[in-house]
Each structure stands twice: as C-alpha cells, then as structure tokens.
Structure 1
C-alpha cells in the first residue's frame, strides 16, 4: 500500500472520529480504510487508535502522528505546487470559511459567479463566526473581518467598509440625537461583539482614535440581531455600511455623528502559511477582491 495514501486515510479517519466517516469522506469502503490504518500501525509497530465497539479515539502516539502527518501531507502538496505551479486553471475542491452576514450575502454571490466561470471547481462554504484552525479543518481560505490576531497565517486585505453610527427615527424622537461621541454614554448602544474592542466605539480625534465606552439593552456576537433591534427603536448601532446601507436607504435607520470618523472595518482573506498558493485559492482571492471593492461600501446585495 502507498504510505502517503495511508497517511491521508489516517488523517481523515481521525478527523471524522470513525472509520466509516473517514471512508465516506474519501469515497472508499470502510474495509479499505481499516486496511490502510492497519498498514500504518504495522509499519510503526504501535496502535494509532483505541478501538471499542462504540468509540474510536487516538492513542498518545496517534495524536502526535496525526500532527506530523498533516504537516507532511501539506509539504507534499506544496512540493507538487512548486513543480507543477498547481496548474493555471482552478480545479478540485475549494473550502471557504466566512462570517455569517457578509458570508450569506456578498461572499455567497461572489462564489456563485466564480463557479460559473470555473466549471472544474467545487466549493464547500462554511458559515461561522470564527474559522478555527484552518489546517485542522481543511480550510483553504477564510474571510475575516477587523483586526488580525493570528500571525501564523498569511493574510491579504480585500476591502474596507466604513463604520457608521445609526438609529431609528423613532428612537431619536424619544431620546434625542447625540451631537458628540461623548453623548453616546447617555444612550442605549447595541453592541456587536465581533467588532473589537468590545463595548468601546472608536472615533478619530486630534491625538488619534479615542474609545467611548458604550452599553445598552442588547449585545450579540453577530450583526443582524442588533441591526434588527436598532430598526425597532431599541438603541444605536455602529455597523459597516454593507450591513445597514439598505436600512439607511429605506429610512429605517438614520446616520448620526457624521462629522466624526471611525476606523474602517477591513475584510481579509487568510490562508495557511504556504509558500505556494494553488490556482484555485489565488484565483478566488483575486476575484473576491475585485468583487468586494465595488460592493462592501454599498447596501447588502439582494440580487
């Protein structure tokens, strides 16, 4: 049996947590997956899994071997990329991770258009607030909003979206309109945890950006719940224009503090630390950058 193939089967079985799951991912039989694992265990002279009739778990040796297998398989992929330049046309499977709102709107539309152009490509799209471990989860490229914390990943800035403070006309009738950022301390401010720093809205002053502590009756880790609450008169929000643009256009929300600048929300594509980018990743990032540059400062797409 080919050792690299067996290593790939081992990684898939370990991630799936079962022989059946790993075999299904690779479109092989459970019996064949079992043979590959037994082949590796025979070569290594040790067990990689603890097996019972109801569960499968890695041994200590297996856990260590899994990490090294992932690295070896990644290096093989990079070596092949160096030799073949990973072809000129995107093909195969591309796994993308994206945050909920921008992922369900702009990224989804971009993916559909990208697939129309590249008939040999298949895309798996995972909508989640955090991409987790890209290598462990097999993510080729993840879309992230705001500041980047993980320096182990390569990143490419795709676009920026302005942040605006807004509320409903009904809210302003009942509570008045803030004239300065400091006035926000006396208003109900609905906070999106996904935009750092948490519970602090930034505005540019003479000495740089200053944080205003804010609080309100609702907080959420994604934008839509607080956007809806703002439309219903429960408070003010600071959100990107691509999220609230349509509400502003329809008069459901009104922008305030327009004379005060907030730092833009950057949109990044991040990918595992690799010297050679596959054609599918490189082409998708090029396409997405052009797509977002013309759209993230506009209302959320509905076409």
Structure 2
C-alpha cells in the first residue's frame, strides 16, 4: 500500500474518531481504511489508536505521529500546488541558447519585452555558435537558424530571413555592380569559414532552378559579423541573412544586389526537447516570439526602403 495514502487515512480516522466516517469521506470501505492504519502500526511497531467497541482514541505516540503526518501532508499539498503553478503559470528560470548575433540584436530585445509581460520569469541567455545538446546542457529551448539535425527535438517555425548579396556603395563605385550571379566571379567575395562549402554561393534562377557559383576573395572569417563589418568598410561582397544586414541596408551602409536571384531563405525555429507537458514559461515564450517574428519579421523592412 502507498504510505502517503495510509497516512492520509490515519489523519481522517483520528479526526473523525471513526473508521466508518473516515472511510465514507475518502470513498473507501471500512475494511480498507482499517487495513491502511494497521499497515502503519505494523510498519512502525507501535499502536497509534486505542480501539474499543464504543470508542476510538489516539495513543500518546499516536498524537505525535498525527501531528507529523498533518505537517507532511500539508507540505505535499503545497509542493503539488507549486509544481502545478510552474506548469500553468509562467514562472521560474528559462534557459535559452542562441547564436551570438541573433541573440544579441534580436532575441535580447524580445526577452526584455517578454519579461515585462511575464515578470515572474527569469531568463538565462547563453550565446554560442554551433550545435549543442539541449538536454545534456540543461537548456529549455534554443533558437535554431539552420537545418535541424536532431529529429528527437520539437521545432516550431518562428519566421525566416532572406539571404542577400550586398556591399558598400564605395565598393560598387570602384568595382561596378554585378548583374547576374556569374558576375560574382570577378568580385572580391568575403566568405564564412564556419559554413562549408564556404566558397560556394547558391542562387535561384528563372524557371525555379538553382545555380551554385564558386566565389573567391581575400578575406574569410569564422564569425559572420566580422565579414559584415569588412563589407561596410568597402572590402568586398557578402552573402548574409537580412536579420544581420537589414538595418545596414536601410541606413545606406550596404547596398543589395542580385535581388532577382534570391537564395533560399534561412528558416528560424524554436527547438525544445520532446515533452508531453510543456511548461508555461516555454510555451508562452515561444508564442511571444512567434507573434514578434511572424509572418513578416521587421528585419525584412529593408526591402521597403529600397523600392
């Protein structure tokens, strides 16, 4: 028998002064209620109740045990209420992983707005590039900007980001503007060494087909933001998502080219471990991001400024 249930039965019997009344309150038979109390007494090796044909009373040790049982059962009820609130009300610490640029420039402002709406949630934001094991490293969720590798995770699409070729106005004044993807072979293209194949840029061409252009350049970096800054300073052309360069285009620091040959967009997902009962903090945070980034995220507003 479950010991906690037996303790509950004992407290009801002690309060009611009757096995029959306690059994009725709990929806048990009188025999089952008696069995629960006898199990406690046998396990402890003591008598908790004095029984006569007319009377039922607590022994001295039974009074002490009753007090402790009531304390334990109260604590159990409080714990269940607290756990239920964690599941139904957003509260506690939310541990989130994201890539450095997206996390700093787009996720951090979103977190500030989310925490204003849900002040009982604390957020631990860890910014790092590359694949991580969410479960092993204790993350509630991650913002994923690449193809999914782990099919055991749940992925919810939050939005997307176009990829665009761009360079500084000064660069184009010196070297001319490419009109087709093939023209990139004659330009200084800055490449990301962390995204193989780094020297192959893919484009869509009329008819729905794709073409891959092998590019060359005098700089590569393993962090895309370094390439962005080099391009702003006139070194060459970059192929980066608009969540990174959209504001630079709006402010005239970079100019987009080859917009008729848009590469496949980068999809943005919230990913989290498969859980039957998703916590309120994760559920509300993912909903919040979806509303903020979908259907057209604000980083795509650069296109309106260039029309």
Q: Same fold (TM over 0.5)?
A: yes
Per the alignment, residue 5 of structure 1 pairs with none
Distance (Å, rounded) in 2 between the aligned partners of 1:148 and 1:210:
23
The TM-score, its normalising length taken from structure 2, stands at 0.66
Per the alignment, residue 75 of structure 1 pairs with none
Distance (Å, rounded) in 2 between the aligned partners of 1:85 and 1:209:
51
Per the alignment, residue 168 of structure 2 pairs with 168
Shift in Å, 1:250: 2.1
Q: Per the alignment, do residues 208 and 246 of structure 1 end up closer, same or farther by CA in structure 2, a change over 3 Å counting?
A: same
Per the alignment, residue 139 of structure 2 pairs with 139
Residue in structure 1 matching 2:298, options 269, 282, 295: 295
Query: Which secondary structure state, in structure 1, belongs to the residue aligned with residue 261 of structure 2?
Result: coil
Shift in Å, 1:221: 2.7
Distance (Å, rounded) in 2 between the aligned partners of 1:160 and 1:194:
21
Query: Which secondary structure state, in structure 1, belongs to the residue aligned with residue 178 of structure 2?
Result: coil
Distance (Å, rounded) in 1 between the aligned partners of 2:293 and 2:89:
22
Per the alignment, residue 270 of structure 1 pairs with 271
Q: Per the alignment, do residues 147 and 198 of structure 1 end up closer, same or farther by CA in structure 2, a change over 3 Å counting?
A: farther
Q: Is the contact made by 1:96 and 1:142 (CA closer than 8 Å) also made in structure 2?
A: yes
Distance (Å, rounded) in 1 between the aligned partners of 2:176 and 2:140:
48
Gap regions ≥5 residues in structure 2: 1-79, 303-307
Per the alignment, residue 152 of structure 2 pairs with 152
Q: Is the contact made by 2:87 and 2:278 (CA closer than 8 Å) also made in structure 1?
A: no
Q: Per the alignment, do residues 287 and 196 of structure 1 end up closer, same or farther by CA in structure 2, a change over 3 Å counting?
A: farther
Distance (Å, rounded) in 2 between the aligned partners of 1:227 and 1:288:
25
Query: Which secondary structure state, in structure 1, belongs to the residue aligned with residue 213 of structure 2?
Result: strand
Q: How many residues align?
A: 218
Q: Is the contact made by 1:241 and 1:298 (CA closer than 8 Å) also made in structure 2?
A: no
Deviations 1:98-135 (A, max 9, x none): 11111001100011111111121111000111251111
Per the alignment, residue 244 of structure 1 pairs with 245
Shift in Å, 1:146: 2.4
Shift in Å, 1:150: 2.3
Per the alignment, residue 19 of structure 1 pairs with none
Deviations 1:255-274 (A, max 9, x none): 11122121111111111222
Per the alignment, residue 99 of structure 1 pairs with 99
Q: Is the contact made by 2:243 and 2:300 (CA closer than 8 Å) also made in structure 1?
A: yes
Q: Flag the structure with larger Rg.
A: 2
Q: Per the alignment, do residues 268 and 108 of structure 1 end up closer, same or farther by CA in structure 2, a change over 3 Å counting?
A: same
Deviations 1:129-156 (A, max 9, x none): 1251111110111011122222222111
Per the alignment, residue 126 of structure 1 pairs with 126
Per the alignment, residue 230 of structure 2 pairs with 229
Deviations 1:3-37 (A, max 9, x none): xxxxxxxxxxxxxxxxxxxxxxxxxxxxxxxxxxx
Q: Is the contact made by 1:158 and 1:288 (CA closer than 8 Å) also made in structure 2?
A: yes
